Structure 1
Amino acid sequence: MNPKIIPPRLIQLESKVNPTGKLTFFEGTGDFPFPIKRSFWIRGVPEGRKRGVHAHKRETQLLICLQGMVSVQLEDLAGAKFNFHLDQAEQALLIPPLIWSSVTFGSNVILLVLADLAFDEEDYIRKKDEFKALQDAYLKGDFYG
């Protein structure tokens, strides 16, 4: 029996606005879907270039576009495709494990990524044909995660 696929989803972060500006935040595990083990940000990517063309075996990530706009194309093991546009710092995109992702950058982007695991190269699926093999196994009922 195949494990249940967890779909990607947008999470609305809380913001407070006053005459001095806007403060967006999350606090504790009640507002956040997982404990953060790693954080990094990506900037200086030329407009139209792609990053993150891979999947993770175990890692869950949360993407927050702090500045600019990114388009995120995702595909799960069942072949379902999702497209998201992140252009507000109040929106976070939750990407569960075993989701193929590709992020296309607009101009002057700062993208914050929060993860539930420390970096581990063994967790990455970097070749699309390897991900496709997992999809085929999943669709045949031969995938057990």
Structure 2
Amino acid sequence: MASPYLLEFPRIGDADIGYISVMEQGQPFLPFEVKRVFWTYGTPESIVRGRHAHHHTEQILIAVAGWILVTTELPTGEIQTFRLEEPQVGLYIPPRAWHTMQYSPGAVQLVLASLPYDEQDYIRDYNTFRAKG
């Protein structure tokens, strides 16, 4: 079973003109073909989002603005915490990894997913997640 890990997208430019980061299909560092893209924003600091795992979907989370504190847990019980705060850095979330996110004010999270939305792919109950471990 894969563990969550950070990956860095190319950062092109400099401080005088700004930067652009690019993700194109077929790049060797992308662990999957992107089938869905979505973003979250306007989340109050007191709210914890996520609180689920996926049976099959892989994701990359990117903080394009602000910071995001992501906690992951694998069925083995391994827990990791990541602070995403650079827009050229993404966090790979493998299938069957429980994850939660907390956001700074004004944070914007971009998510790249390996599969289209399917409610049947979600494990939303933590006890069910732990039982499948």
How would you bin the TM-score normalised by the shorter chain?
over 0.9
**TM-score, length-normalised on structure 2?**
0.95
The letter of the residue matching 1:15 is R
5+ long unaligned stretches in structure 2: none
Q: Where does residue 11 of structure 1 map in the other structure? A: 7
Q: Where does residue 50 of structure 1 map in the other structure? A: 48
d(CA) in 2 for partners of 1:113, 1:70: 12
Superimposed CA distance per residue, residues 38-95 of structure 1 (whole angstroms, 9 cap, x where no aligned partner)? 0100000001311111000000000010000010000001100010000000100000
Q: CA RMSD in A?
A: 0.9
Q: Is 2:58 the counterpart of 1:60?
A: yes
- Structure 1's consecutive aligned runs of 4 or more residues displaced over 3 angstroms after TM superposition are none
Secondary structure in structure 2 of the residue aligned to 1:65: strand
**TM-score, length-normalised on structure 1?**
0.87
Q: Aligned residues, how many?
A: 131
Contact 1:75 1:99 in 2 (8 A): yes
Deviation at 1:25?
A: 1.2
Deviation at 1:28?
A: 2.6
Identical pairs, percent: 34
Bigger radius of gyration: 1
Alignment of 1:10-29 (within 5 A): 10-18=6-14, 19-29=16-26
5+ long unaligned stretches in structure 1: 136-145
Contact 1:48 1:106 in 2 (8 A): no
Give 1 or 2: higher helix fraction. Answer: 1
